[in-house]
A and B are shown apart, each in its own frame.
Chain A
Amino acid sequence: MMLLALGLCFSAFVALSLATEKHPVAMQGRALIARVDRSAWRWVGWALLAVAFALSVSARGWALGPVLWLGAMTLAGIGLAFGLYPYRPRWIVPAACLVPLLGAAGLLL
């Protein structure tokens, strides 16, 4: 559950960063970005954050859920901004697809 929440937050931040002006250039998968409108990525990002929130609250209740959600956002954002963006930009899009899938798999198994 933690991993899925973390993965969703990570993908959400990737989507949100695609919506900003400067970042998409640094990434691979430019074709994907060109096809979809920038403001659409913003919607995707916020929607994923909302899903992560709903997941956290449904798993841990209204007391601990939001705390978990905020913590997952922090970790995902730090990993993206300090790790992948400056040093491994090519991993970002694959990671954004893979980590939530891994989390979902972990939840089902």
Chain B
Amino acid sequence: MKQGFRQSMAWLHTWTGLLVGWLLLLIFMAGTASYYREEISRWMRPELPASQVSADVAAQRAVAFLQANAAHAETWFVTLPDARNPAIRLFWRNPDSMVKPPVEGERRRRGGGRFGEATVDPNTGNALEARQTRGGDFFYRLHFDLHYLPVMWARYLVGFCAMFMLVAIITGVITHKKIFKDFFTFRPEKGLRSWLDFHNVSAVMALPYHAMITYTGIVTLMVMYMPWGMKAAYPQDENAFFSEAFGGLPEITTEAGQRMPSAPVQRLLDSARLQWNGADVAGFSVVHPGADNAVIDIRQRDGRRLSSETPALRYDMVRGTLLQHSPEAGAATATRGVMYGLHLAHFADWGLRALFFLSGLVGCLMVASGVVLWAVKERPKHARQGRIGFGLRLVDALNIGTVAGLPIAFAAYFWGNRLLPVGLQARAEMEVSVFFYTWAAALVAAFVWPRRAMWAVQLYAGAAMFALLPVVNALTTSAHLGITLRTGDWVLAGFDLAMLAFGAMLALCAWRMQHWQPPLSAAEKKKRAAAMAHAAKTAEAGA
């Protein structure tokens, strides 16, 4: 190799970053939004009332609802309300005999009718008729499953992007010579210099976050990306590996016994709290409900622990005796648990969550400024030749369509939630379609006219759509700022206020894009100064 080490690292950084940049931005934005997955879901179902009952009452109502509606299910899965989610969420698994064969030509739902689900109002114990929406779960899935693609392909694609991101981070640190000297250096209004500064500072300031989130992101799907160790040690049975490595409580394989009434659920929850010295219960699952060998696994709420492995207790649900503690994790499992936990940040309270969210936004800005930087750097070469080449035009279009277009799509998803009729068929899918059609429209527009004016147009469009969301919300629901601020419902009010803030930020970007003047070269400056001086002189002479 003729080039020096640093040059080759710079080359690697440029091209790994550019190749995956746009998909990476989608992944980053969806992941950042996922920190507020529950809050987004709450906002997107404004019908949900606030929970006013204790966890015990909610648990009793959940069991009563399941006994009435899913008595013959094999398992129940209950998530109790908490500060972030006011409703009880229920899932259950139907026995094989109850699963209908898929109808020809009908699009198959996940699980094909094997699973039932319901959202229950803890205040009344009745199923909630909230609008159909995927809420924040859409962003969560989009983050690693993408959409329209087979899940496995999507996950490999996301893993590929994450690997490239990791390479880009390492090579970026090597390329960036003066990390400490330029730690705080951001010089605006200087063209290429400004973009480089911005990219550097956004990368360096949040470097611990970027490195952590990329590495732990790969760890979350590590068994899928590198299955060979598992295949060698457990050639026959992958499930044995999963239950031994990450399982927590072992799976129950016995058949359901005779019908027999269970012990009251609040007594079991009390016993679990006593075992945990008062720690809260997040939810529980029941295997063989209503049978004489029913068992209940009670899950502890995430709290002061980084790991995603939450302790659980298993009780005999009929006799109320404690059967088993979730096993202590081994070193490797504990390590993975901590990494998984760090990535998901379920442990974070509102303040820490805000820090994660802001760091995620900084990550989005870093990726966005990286792809823009490439175009800014390339442009003078094309300007010298007098025409914009194919490569730059392509990158410009993709930049506008994702950096400015994706925010429009995010806002459009929320607009769709408020404006699509509540009774619509397949409404949840329709909201998702709104997201992708809007994004596609932004991309097409960017490809048709990849100029600076298009940047401004799309950024203004995004700004308007975000800023008007609270207005649309006020016109279509009764969960708007006028009410939520007064009642102190900070989840809903915070969402609307955040939308206003995003609108303002995008408007600022758009305004700067619209009023930006290309910096003058030194020679041009001299020429203009001379012309000014000349004009002044002639004016004087004329007078």
Residues in chain A within 8 A of chain B (CB atoms): 2, 13, 16-17, 20, 22-23, 60-61, 63-64, 67-68, 70-75, 77-78, 80-82, 85-87
One of A22, A81, A86 near B205 (C-beta < 8 A): A81
Closest-by-CB residue of B relative to A83 is B186
Do residues A74 and B186 form an inter-chain contact, with CB atoms below 8 A? no
For B185, list chain A residues within 8 Å (CB).
Answer: 22, 81
One of B183, B184, B352, B359 near A64 (C-beta < 8 A): B352
A4 to B187, CA, bound (A): 29
For A82, list chain B residues within 8 Å (CB).
Answer: 186, 198, 201-202
For B454, list chain A residues within 8 Å (CB).
Answer: none
Question: In the complex, how many angstroms separate the beta carbon of A78 from the nearest chain B beta carbon?
Answer: 5
Do residues A74 and B351 form an inter-chain contact, with CB atoms below 8 A? no
Do residues B187 and A64 form an inter-chain contact, with CB atoms below 8 A? no
One of B201, B204, B304, B352 near A71 (C-beta < 8 A): B352
A83 to B181, CA, bound (A): 19
Question: In the complex, how many angstroms separate the beta carbon of A16 from the nearest chain B beta carbon?
Answer: 7
Question: In the complex, how many angstroms separate the beta carbon of A61 from the nearest chain B beta carbon?
Answer: 6
B209 within 8 A of A: yes
Interface string of B199-226 (1 = CB under 8 A from A): 0011011101100000000000000000
For A75, list chain B residues within 8 Å (CB).
Answer: 355, 358-359
Q: What are 7 of the A-B contact pairs (CB < 8 Å)?
A: A70-B208, A71-B209, A71-B356, A71-B358, A74-B209, A81-B201, A85-B186
Do residues B184 and A63 form an inter-chain contact, with CB atoms below 8 A? no
Question: In the complex, how many angstroms separate the beta carbon of A30 from the nearest chain B beta carbon?
Answer: 17
Do residues A78 and B202 form an inter-chain contact, with CB atoms below 8 A? yes
Do residues B342 and A67 form an inter-chain contact, with CB atoms below 8 A? yes
| Shortest beta-carbon contacts, A-B, top 4 | A71-B355, A77-B205, A2-B351, A70-B208
A75 to B205, CA, bound (A): 8
B381 within 8 A of A: no
Question: In the complex, how many angstroms separate the beta carbon of B301 from the nearest chain A beta carbon?
Answer: 15
Between A60, A68, A71, A77, the greatest number of chain B beta carbons within 10 A of the residue's beta carbon is seen for A71
Closest-by-CB residue of A relative to B209 is A74
For A74, list chain B residues within 8 Å (CB).
Answer: 205-206, 208-209, 355, 358-359, 362
B377 within 8 A of A: no
For A68, list chain B residues within 8 Å (CB).
Answer: 351-352, 355
Do residues A86 and B347 form an inter-chain contact, with CB atoms below 8 A? no
Do residues A63 and B306 form an inter-chain contact, with CB atoms below 8 A? yes
For B205, list chain A residues within 8 Å (CB).
Answer: 73-74, 77-78, 81
For B347, list chain A residues within 8 Å (CB).
Answer: 63-64
For A70, list chain B residues within 8 Å (CB).
Answer: 208-209
Interface of A is mostly: helix
A63 to B346, CA, bound (A): 13
A105 to B206, CA, bound (A): 28
Do residues B352 and A67 form an inter-chain contact, with CB atoms below 8 A? yes
Do residues B352 and A20 form an inter-chain contact, with CB atoms below 8 A? no
Do residues A71 and B184 form an inter-chain contact, with CB atoms below 8 A? no
For B355, list chain A residues within 8 Å (CB).
Answer: 68, 71-72, 74-75
For B187, list chain A residues within 8 Å (CB).
Answer: 86
B32-84 with Cβ < 8 A to chain A: none
For B358, list chain A residues within 8 Å (CB).
Answer: 71, 74-75, 78
B488 within 8 A of A: no
B188 within 8 A of A: yes
A80-B351 in contact given A63-B305, A74-B362 (Cβ < 8 Å):
no
Interface string of B174-194 (1 = CB under 8 A from A): 000000010111111000000
Question: In the complex, how many angstroms separate the beta carbon of B329 from the nearest chain A beta carbon?
Answer: 14
Closest-by-CB residue of B relative to A20 is B181
For A60, list chain B residues within 8 Å (CB).
Answer: 304
Question: In the complex, how many angstroms separate the beta carbon of B423 from the nearest chain A beta carbon?
Answer: 43
Do residues A86 and B306 form an inter-chain contact, with CB atoms below 8 A? no
For A71, list chain B residues within 8 Å (CB).
Answer: 209, 352, 355-356, 358-359
Closest-by-CB residue of A relative to B206 is A74
A20 to B184, CA, bound (A): 10
For B202, list chain A residues within 8 Å (CB).
Answer: 78, 82
A67 to B339, CA, bound (A): 12
Question: In the complex, how many angstroms separate the beta carbon of A89 from the nearest chain B beta carbon?
Answer: 11
A17-B209 in contact given A75-B355, A78-B202 (Cβ < 8 Å):
no
For B352, list chain A residues within 8 Å (CB).
Answer: 64, 67-68, 71
Closest-by-CB residue of A relative to B305 is A63
Do residues A67 and B183 form an inter-chain contact, with CB atoms below 8 A? no
Closest-by-CB residue of A relative to B345 is A67
For A86, list chain B residues within 8 Å (CB).
Answer: 186-188
For B305, list chain A residues within 8 Å (CB).
Answer: 63
Question: In the complex, how many angstroms separate the beta carbon of B308 from the nearest chain A beta carbon?
Answer: 12
Question: In the complex, how many angstroms separate the beta carbon of B403 from the nearest chain A beta carbon?
Answer: 17
Do residues B184 and A13 form an inter-chain contact, with CB atoms below 8 A? yes
Q: A2-B351, A23-B184, A77-B204 are in contact. List 8 more A-B contacts (CB 8 A).
A: A17-B183, A64-B347, A67-B306, A71-B352, A73-B205, A74-B359, A75-B358, A85-B186
Do residues A20 and B362 form an inter-chain contact, with CB atoms below 8 A? no
Question: In the complex, how many angstroms separate the beta carbon of A23 from the nearest chain B beta carbon?
Answer: 6
A63 to B208, CA, bound (A): 15
A77 to B352, CA, bound (A): 16
For B351, list chain A residues within 8 Å (CB).
Answer: 2, 68
Do residues A63 and B304 form an inter-chain contact, with CB atoms below 8 A? yes
A85-B304 in contact given A67-B342, A74-B208, A75-B355 (Cβ < 8 Å):
no
